[in-house]
Amino acid sequence: MMKQLGWVLAVVMISLTACAPNNVKEEKGWEKYFSQYKVEGTFMLFNNSQGVFKVYNLDRAKERFLPASTFKIFNSLVGLTTGVIKDTGMVIPWDGVTREVPGWNQDLSMQQAFKLSAVPYYQEVARRIGKDQMQMWLDSVKYGNMKISRIDTFWLDNTLQISPDEELGFVKKLYFDQLPFSKTAMKSVRDVMVMEKTPKYELSYKTGWGVVGKKNIAWVVGYIEENRHPSFFVLNFETEDPKLDLIKARMDILRNILTDAGYFKGEM
């Protein structure tokens, strides 16, 4: 246990720089939310104002996985900073190829494409950015393993990989304007990440779903704000069950853990 706490402290100091040893807590009680859907996963939660860091499944939190559509955060930042994406209203015309997600089969703005998690839109953005420029930004941010294969599939085909801990550090830096992108780009991405806004809380995130062999890898990366106090979270899990409603399971686990941790009441 001491060895694990030592690793967590190192993670927090490097990625989050905001925590003391007595504020690190391993939340084994969160296991039930994963067991409900028979999935193996991890959840990381950092309350920035309190400096409290909670983790379920420490070992998985440091493993790298394909980012899938959580990479749309990074892709958007590069696109907006370089001018490849003029603004969040920039439309890329539909290429006429009918895909299984109906919402993708139309002309889309960046804001729409982000909300719909439209892969074709962001594949075109990546092609326009180009491999050399994309590699430069990956290296500058030190995003995961920083590897590129094909420019329009590398975040989907398991070439690029990132750990839940690295995702948490990345989204925290985005929130505080600490990434090497333009401040306008970072604000625009934060704006499109807002998925729920109520008088009690504001929930911002990006989901992801990738396939590696028989495994479906699921993500939710983001933060929740109450009284202008942000808490950053990462959910990651995997399943080989083809019948699992992964989209429902993903959001149920997220909301159940945040509720368990005391969120959604406007009291944090």
Catalytically active residues, by annotation: 69
Q: What b/e string do you get for 26-53 counting C-beta neighbours within 10 Å, with b at 16 or more?
A: bbeebeebbeebebebbbbbbbbeeebb
Q: CA angle 59-246-221, nearest 5°? A: 55
Nearest 5 degrees, angle CA 224-CA 229-CA 231?
40
- How do strand 108-109 and strand 91-92 relate by DSSP bridges? antiparallel
Cα–Cα distance for residue pair 117/126, rounded to 1 Å: 14
- Antiparallel, parallel or unpaired: β 229-239 and 215-226: antiparallel
Beta-strand runs (E) in 13-158: 24-26, 40-47, 52-56, 91-92, 108-109
